[in-house]
């Protein structure tokens, strides 16, 4: 599998909506598409008007599998970009 970064700007109106989508995302990825996509982590982003989005790291067989996962979940996938390499300067900080 290749690794991708997925941008989902302004995807949700509240953290509760995001939590519900995350539960569906995990279920679909783990139960329906385990050989096609793997959710690695997400960073939650703040947007105008109180909306929230995410920048997610996924592994997938190809961008179409990642798009199909998002479609099944009912969430946006504004952009899907393959990651060429990882450079770690510092570990991710704890929750904000």
* pLDDT-based confidence at residue 92 (cuts at 50, 70, 90): confident
Please give the CATH number for the structural domain made up of 2-82.
Answer: 3.30.70.3090
Helix (H) or strand (E) holding 54: strand 52-60
Average pLDDT over residues 73-87: 95
Q: Quote the pTM value.
A: 0.89
Query: Helix, strand, or coil here: 36?
Result: coil
pLDDT the model gives residue 29: 97
Nearest alpha-carbon partner for 80 in 56, 53, 45: 56
Per-residue pLDDT tens digits for 5-59 = 999 998 899 999 999 999 999 999 999 999 999 999 999 999 888 899 999 999 9
Domain ranges of the chain: 2-82
């Amino acid at each position: 599998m290749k690794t991708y970064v997925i941008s989902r700007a302004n995807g949700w109106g509240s953290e509760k909506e995001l939590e519900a989508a995350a539960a569906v995302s995990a279920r679909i990825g783990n139960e329906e598409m385990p050989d096609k996509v793997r959710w690695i982590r997400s960073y939650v982003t703040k947007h105008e008007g109180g909306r929230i989005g995410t920048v997610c790291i996924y592994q997938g067989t190809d961008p179409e599998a990642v798009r199909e996962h998002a479609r099944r979940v009912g969430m946006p996938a504004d952009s899907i970009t393959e990651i060429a390499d990882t450079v770690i300067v510092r570990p991710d900080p704890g929750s904000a």
